[in-house]
Amino acid sequence: MDTDVNNIRSNPVDRAKLSFKRVSAADRQADLILRPPSTYLKDSLYNLSRNPLGMIGAAVIIFMIIFAVLGPMVLPYEFDRPDYDSTYQSSSTEHWMGTDILGRDMTVRIAHGARASLLVGFTASLLSITVGVFYGAISGYMGGKTDLLMMRVVEIFSSVPSIMYIILLAQIFPQGGLNIIVVVIGLTTWMSTARVVRGDILSLKTREFVLAARVSNVSNFKIITRHMIPNCIGPIIVSLTFNVPGAIFTEATLRYLGVASAVTPSWGSLVNDSLGTLHNYPYLLLFPALFLSVTMLAFTLFSDALLKALDPKKR
């Protein structure tokens, strides 16, 4: 027996065999370094949550939406009911943001203005994104002369500032209210989205899954809507969030210039109404301008954070 042990110790191969021992499954699992399972959406939300400025912007946007939805319901005033005994009152416990020339509560009017401005911003942006996405996707997928012609049309429309189209169409339909404002803004701000989507489609059209769909005799419409546009969802969402503040500002500009009219007040119309009393009653301009500026800044911060979260190259 001692002779066998001495022979094993003198042989390096046998000595190596003696150094191994059976390891349990739990011990093998403890030595593994694994990343928790995740998805692109989870990673994007995680990166977005780690951006403090983006979270501040998101919190402000949520607050403005809640204020626009619940404010007119909770506040005990009507936005269009005058009270001539309460004209030009400054901020107080009864009227948080004062009253205007007709004694109307400014808080409830700013809440209704938030509802109108945000509604125009989101709806016009959705319309703009819809037109731009399909136009850019068709242009990039078809290529050739079709792409050349469609991009020349975009360049022609882009050569004239959008505000000129907006003012022209608003003058043609002066009594359209918020509906015509939404349509006008949506149909005159889609060019940048079309360019972005076209660029992504050009890079996707040579991928294997698109070639496989073509070989399988899938129609071009299904290839664009089911395979290519969903792969551009990141830039589309970013374009949507960037377009919202632009639409809000455009609507405010139109109402400020008096080009478009509507019964419901917006932040732009409240700013316009307060110009005549700026020196004596500056709070009439301060509050709607502050809400407008903070909302646009919040959307800009959130859009920038969302762009960094969805695009790894921007991190």
Domains plus CATH for the chain? 58-79+97-314 (1.10.3720.10)
Q: What is the pLDDT of residue 58?
A: 93
Q: Which residues contact 225 (CB under 8 A, 6 or more apart)?
A: none
Q: Which residues contact 107 (CB under 8 A, 6 or more apart)?
A: 71, 75, 77, 95, 96, 97
Q: What is the pLDDT of residue 33?
A: 58
Q: Which tokens belong to 302?
A: 């959130």
Amino acid letter for position 25: A
Q: What is the pLDDT of residue 61?
A: 93
Positions in the chain whose pLDDT score sits under 70: 1-38, 170, 174-177, 258-263, 311-315
Q: What is the pLDDT of residue 100?
A: 87
Q: What is the pLDDT of residue 14?
A: 52
Q: Which residues contact 116 (CB under 8 A, 6 or more apart)?
A: 178, 251, 262, 264, 265, 266
Q: What is the pLDDT of residue 62?
A: 94
Q: What is the pLDDT of residue 65?
A: 93
Q: What is the pLDDT of residue 262?
A: 65
